[in-house]
Chains A and B, each alone.
Chain A
């Protein structure tokens, strides 16, 4: 709170990205956690824009214009706010406050440490235990004849950025394990990522070997041998270096590098050519420039898309994932994957391969498990990559975003194989940057343990599960469950993800949603069935057939209410901009008194507006042709 100089500024203009639309006039509020813009329209309806401070990527003061002082706010969720202040002092104050608020210095300043979603300690504990990597190992069939769950790293001594439990080949001795760890960058030795029951092939991950130009390590060679021996179905293992060959060779000069095929028996070595975090960061930067172009021509847009290189990088990740899945499933070969440190590209391709191989990871809960396993526990540096704190900007990179996009690309090509829809991926993305839950804070398990996140913050997953009806894919076919996905990786299947990168430019999105329509159809059905069973149960109770567990019988009126509610719920969801997600949680958080007041006063109005606007939409909301344009050209 001490960073807020001016908590409320009136007569602030919110400029629209598209020149043809009128800009709004309203009031700006700064709270401890959010920036809130309340637009005052003629008929007293209010629309609110809530932006979490953690979502703010950059704040920029633009040169003074005749109409006022402009402030440009860019968000990590790809929202863009262009504000215009009447007084330069207000602008400066807000600018200063936001600079400070959007870049916390200490972990304790993060939202998750303030946020209390009305849960008791028991809920909190259960929430954190809800997703368990150990359970996933048992689901895969570990321990078994070849693989075991090892606690060698329980004090994070072998590798500080790895989880405390590791899947290791049974016949690898402690000496081999520790020896191999010493030969791998940051001690990230080869361990199990996924065990494919049907083929006995294993997907393993590690970091680059410290081979330099000539070094070798017997234990590391034995380690790979042990992985190979754990799969009797194939006489060799693939070693996949996800980097471009040139990058890997450059690393050799620095004493790192890649496996020399002569030193390891029975390996097949392969480069995959995924670029590093810096290239990806710059590529996203260029992509976002394309997204925010003002009325580009089709050629400008396509050329911009090409020049950003973004889809090329997405394809390179997908290609690598598909390669791994094919090796495991078609060749029954085990694969060892690494990049440099084994926490960015390796996480991307391993998790993608898991999704291709195992239908479980295509479910709502399965994706949580996968993210928890391949990303959180294996030390993807979320704090650094997302820039949660004011740290080195060169560490920031959209590695996780790319993974989510790959999943989206798959879902576009194979619309019936995922239990979740696009909104689930976008919500996870928002939550990664929101720092409202503890899951994505810190860079590895050890750090999180030191921060005592499980005691001080809550887990995201139960919250997502509570809302899972919003994230369901109505086209999901369980019958396709058992199949390995074989997506086409031809370039024409890689599309620009408008729903993510232009998420807040509602005008660009389809005006009617098939998803909402199908969700409401299926939802009604589910509700209807539920009501029926409930009524039958009550009849049985009333008849005396069943004992009455819940006291008096509910009145019929109450029974009717769920079916009445159903149709409206999806509509509100579809039209809210950023508001609904953050709104709901902010209400629970309630850090600033004034904010709570604002919210209570405004909420019904806002919802009403949402509803009406959804009906107007076809006529008025979206027009690209202004009257000015007509006159100009005539």
Chain B
């Protein structure tokens, strides 16, 4: 069925648009295959609002006399109201929105149609690849190699075609190890620490099952990771009890007797539905008009969102401690190894690695650890906080990552090259985007759908100099040290930038940000290192010569 067949009414005049903190507007509403367009044609300089239909999470219809009201709740948490004259038009519009906002087929989505004049499809897609990363990271060359065992995605469908593994482990062993890990996600290198060469590996759970199966190749692979040093840590992102229970369904954990050089630490992390429900509860709490502080605090507590932030940062801190302070390598996994595992490994890198704190470095990190590593974006981000649809595989783990990064930034406001604006942009793009970056669930799917050939890359576009500037942190001062965030509950805060994004509060904060920029710019202009010093010194020179003159005069 053609997309346009979903559109029964394409245009409605005299629609009233209501947005938070703006006066109501009257104008024309259009529905296209991918967009909702409202334009206010009062004067020549018309104002337009363009919303990607994919950004719409839920709509609510209400009839008022002969006209209807549609409340549109977006995935970026914006809520709009449209008053549409004529009940039939209203219903038509609503059903178009419902159908077109939940397209299943990837190639029908907007990124495949987005063709801005300033971008060409021939440009590079993505920022880096496993091979490039390996080439750039000299410290890997000695003991690590790039394996293309997964080049046809048959060993692990959710991994990229190339992965980094210990040099001494051949592809055959990898295949065996993959069979022993859920979804074939055998242990691969995620990060090698620049100070001591210790690594962070990630994988999925081993399939030990009820009768404690073992896999020699998997054991050898992990043995090769620590390469003769006495100890590595396995950070299992489930409680010990959950890990035990996983054996009943074929999963399990690395037992002490077979992996004698690895120490296992369990840290409980919520996943899937629980986290999605947290988001729903939190967003609901944030829009609660009640004036009771107790109610707010109790809802905030009840949502558990901040508890998830707390556990993610704590566990990332634990990984960092193993790697940086104690000098041990770490393997991180939960069950599938596609969610919390990526959350923890990428946060640990942000804390450890100064290179991942620049704009490019951070985007590369996201590309490597989330997109190439096979976080199922399409499943996880199908719906956001407002949807009434029955939850399937939605889970805002990526949003949780952005929240954690924001917490790090709040505690180290000078250490990241990027600003909150980049995090907010990503939070929006991951749910609905003009770009193909967050489409599909894995490299294999992206390959099959031709994403790289037919869509534009978000990260490439964010790095264009004119765009990048708006995402820079004016106070950035690079530091080589690890930036270790405090995880005291008092140190963690609600990410108001995201959750109160569409309130007056956001405007106040924007003013403050502008002020910071203007102070920094003024400083650069006035007290630029060269100019001022130069003028100062010339003045000093003049003064000295004057002084000499005066001395001479006194002598005379």
Contact = CB atoms under 8 A, between A and B. Distances in A.
A413 B505 contact: yes
Contacts of A298: 301, 304, 306-307, 309-310, 489, 492
A248 to B, nearest CB: 21
B515 A528 contact: no
A416 B514 CA distance: 10
Interface string B392-424: 000000000000000000111111000000000
Interface string A474-517: 11010000000000111111111010001001011111111001
Contact of A634 (B265, B306, B310, B321): B265
Nearest to A301: B489
Contacts of B264: 634
B138 interface: no
A425 to B, nearest CB: 18
Contact of A490 (B291, B412, B485): B291
Given A302-B300, A517-B475, A528-B532, A495 B493 contact: yes
A508 B490 contact: yes
A565 B238 CA distance: 53
Nearest to B546: A542
Interface stretch (A55-63, A306-314, A376-384, A440-448): A306-314
A623 B317 contact: yes
Contact of B527 (A299, A525, A559, A630): A525
A518 B481 contact: no
B293 A312 contact: yes
A512 B529 CA distance: 23
Nearest to B319: A625
A618 interface: yes
Nearest to A627: B326
Interface in A551-583: 553, 555-556, 559-560, 563
B290 interface: yes
Interface stretch (B359-367, B441-449, B463-471, B518-526): B518-526
A491 B296 contact: yes
A254 interface: no
Contacts of A489: 291
Nearest to A563: B536
Interface string B471-497: 000010001011111111111111000
B41 interface: no
A415 interface: yes
Contact of B515 (A305, A311, A416): A416
B111 to A, nearest CB: 35
A495 B296 CA distance: 11
B302 to A, nearest CB: 9
B490 A312 contact: no
A566 to B, nearest CB: 10
Interface stretch (A23-31, A128-136, A531-539): A531-539
Contacts of A474: 515, 519
Given A415-B509, A495-B493, A299 B307 contact: yes
B233 A531 contact: no
B297 A514 contact: no
B388 interface: no
Question: Could you say which of B293, B413, B485, B491 has the most chain A C-beta atoms within 10 Å of its C-beta?
Answer: B293
B286 interface: yes
A413 B508 contact: yes
A511 B411 CA distance: 5
Question: Could you say which of A298, A312, A618 has the most chain B C-beta atoms within 10 Å of its C-beta?
Answer: A298
B263 interface: yes
A596 B306 CA distance: 48
A593 interface: no
Contact of A507 (B318, B488, B504): B488
A518 B503 CA distance: 26
Contacts of B543: 535, 538-539, 542, 553, 556, 559
Given A291-B490, A514-B516, A618 B482 contact: yes
B64 interface: no
A306 B298 contact: yes
A481 to B, nearest CB: 14
Contacts of B289: 490
A598 interface: no
B512 A619 contact: no
Contact of A553 (B292, B488, B516, B547): B547
Contacts of B415: 512, 618
Contacts of A512: 411-415
Given A619-B482, A619-B484, A630 B318 contact: yes
A302 B489 contact: yes
A633 interface: yes
Given A298-B307, A511-B411, A553-B546, A518 B516 contact: yes
A508 B410 CA distance: 12
Given A298-B307, A491-B292, A510-B411, A630 B265 contact: yes
Interface string A320-331: 000000000000
A583 B296 CA distance: 42
A319 B293 CA distance: 12
Contacts of B296: 490-492
Nearest to B415: A512
Contact of A556 (B267, B304, B526, B544): B544
Given A311-B297, A491-B291, A556-B544, A514 B413 contact: yes
Nearest to A629: B318
A201 to B, nearest CB: 25
Contacts of B485: 511, 622
B534 interface: no
A315 interface: yes
Interface in B19-41: none
Interface in B530-553: 532, 535-536, 539-540, 542-544, 546-547, 550
A604 interface: no
Interface in A608-634: 618-619, 622-625, 627, 629-630, 633-634
Question: Could you say which of B486, B505, B511 has the most chain A C-beta atoms within 10 Å of its C-beta?
Answer: B486
A309 B294 CA distance: 7
B61 interface: no
B546 A510 contact: no
Given A302-B489, A556-B543, A630 B298 contact: no
B322 interface: yes
Interface string A149-172: 000000000000000000000000
Nearest to B540: A556
A549 B97 CA distance: 79
A301 B294 contact: no
Given A416-B511, A488-B505, A525-B526, A625 B294 contact: no
B516 A618 contact: no
A138 interface: no
Contacts of B520: 521
Nearest to B313: A624
Given A525-B527, A555-B547, A508 B484 contact: no
A532 B543 CA distance: 12
Contacts of A629: 318
B489 A475 contact: no
A391 interface: no
Given A416-B512, A633-B266, A491 B295 contact: yes
Given A311-B297, A623-B321, A624-B314, A415 B512 contact: yes
B500 interface: yes
Given A298-B307, A512-B415, A514-B413, A414 B508 contact: yes
A67 interface: no
A41 interface: no
Interface string B426-443: 000000000000000000
14 contacts: A291-B490, A298-B304, A298-B306, A491-B291, A508-B490, A525-B523, A538-B543, A539-B546, A542-B546, A553-B546, A618-B415, A619-B481, A624-B488, A630-B265
Given A517-B413, A539-B542, A629-B318, 5 more contacts: A312-B294, A498-B491, A514-B516, A553-B546, A625-B317
4 closest cross-chain pairs (CB), A and B: A301-B489, A491-B296, A302-B301, A306-B297
